Amino acid sequence: MLQLIRKDLMLQKNTLLIMLPLLVVYIALNASATILSGVLFTIAITMQAFMLDEKRQIHILFNSLPYTRKEIVTSKYIGVFCFTGLVLLTILIANLVIHGESPTWKELLFILCLTTLFFSFSLPFSYRFKSQYLLFASIGTFAAYLVVINVFIPNLHDLIREVVAFLLAMEQVQLYVLVGCALVIVYILSWLLSIRIYEKKMF
């Protein structure tokens, strides 16, 4: 299975060589949006790796090689952390070198949490349908979001900002443990669901 993760990193070599310097430039230009840039770059890189393997022929290849379907899915779930790690490392180093200060560990942790949450939903969705439909799903979610902020909760943005600021300001270890555990459970459930979906696929 490690071979599968290594394969993803190898195939994403060129993407990483373009995206990570781009992230550095972004950090140099705009230091304030660490969380947003971290999440977006992680999603872009990881989804690129996922989409490359989405072709029917590539599924046939890996299912014909001595890998189980469980391993193929699991490698993607672990791969998410590899790509997130690379992005976090880039953010950390770029901030230290360019701005002379590192982002807070809470910010980095927040990026990790958000990407984990994103992939918990998007991976099973992509295995069931196709990642290209994620765009439609996102547009749908965005439309729902617009309706919510316009009709139901006009100050949703402020609320989110407050919640984020509140979470980042929290010192209570217990809360972190709670959020962390919840995310781990969601991620594991998502992983099990993806395995179930993938094992039923026909190529």
Partner 1 sequence: MENVIELKQVHKSFPNFQVKDLSFSVKKGFVTGFIGGNGVGKSTTIKMLMNLLQPDAGTISIFGMNYNKHEKEIKQRIGFVYDENVFYEQSTMLDMRSIMKSAYAKWDDELFHYYVKEFELPIKQKIKSFSKGMMMKASLALALSHHAELIIMDEPTSGLDPIFRRELLDILHSFMQDGEKTIFFSTHITTDLDRIADYITFIHNGELMFSKEYYQIEEEYAIIKGATELLDRDTEKEFIAIRRSNHGFEALTSNKAQASHLFGDSVLLEKPSLEDIMYYTKKGAEGGAAINT
Which residues of the chain form contacts with partner 1 (CB under 8 A)? 3, 6-7, 10-11, 52, 57-58, 60-61, 63-68, 202-203
- B/e letters for 67-99, b = 16+ CB within 10 Å, e = fewer, are bebeebbbbbbebbbbbbebbbebbbebbeeee
31 vs 101: CA distance, rounded Å: 11
Shortest distance, position 199 Cβ to partner 1, whole Å = 9
Where would I find the H helices in 95-172?
105-128, 132-147, 156-169
C-beta of 67 vs 121, nearer to partner 1: 67
Q: In angstroms, give the least distance from the CB of 117 to partner 1.
A: 30
Closest distance of CB 61 from partner 1, Å = 4
User: Whole-number minimum distance, CB 76 to partner 1, in Å?
Assistant: 16
Give 59 or 106: the residue with its C-beta nearer to partner 1: 59
Which pair of tokens denotes residue 180? 């962390």
**Taking the complex as a whole, how short is the minimal distance between the CB of residue 72 and partner 1, in angstroms?**
11
What is the closest distance, in whole angstroms, from the C-beta atom of residue 157 to partner 1 in the complex?
Answer: 41
6 versus 130: smaller Cβ distance to partner 1? 6
Contact (Cβ atoms closer than 8 angstroms) between residue 122 and residue 134: yes
Task: Using DSSP, state whether 71 is helix, strand or coil.
Answer: helix
Q: Is-contact 30 56, C-beta < 8 A?
A: no
Q: In the complex with partner 1, which residue's Cβ is closer, 53 or 107?
A: 53
Say if residue 156 is exposed, middle or buried (CB neighbours under 10 Å; 0-12, 13-18, 19+).
middle
Comparison of 66 and 100: residue with beta carbon closer to partner 1 = 66
Any idea how long the chain is?
203
Nearer to partner 1, 72 or 80 (CB): 72
DSSP H or E stretch at residue 23: helix 13-29
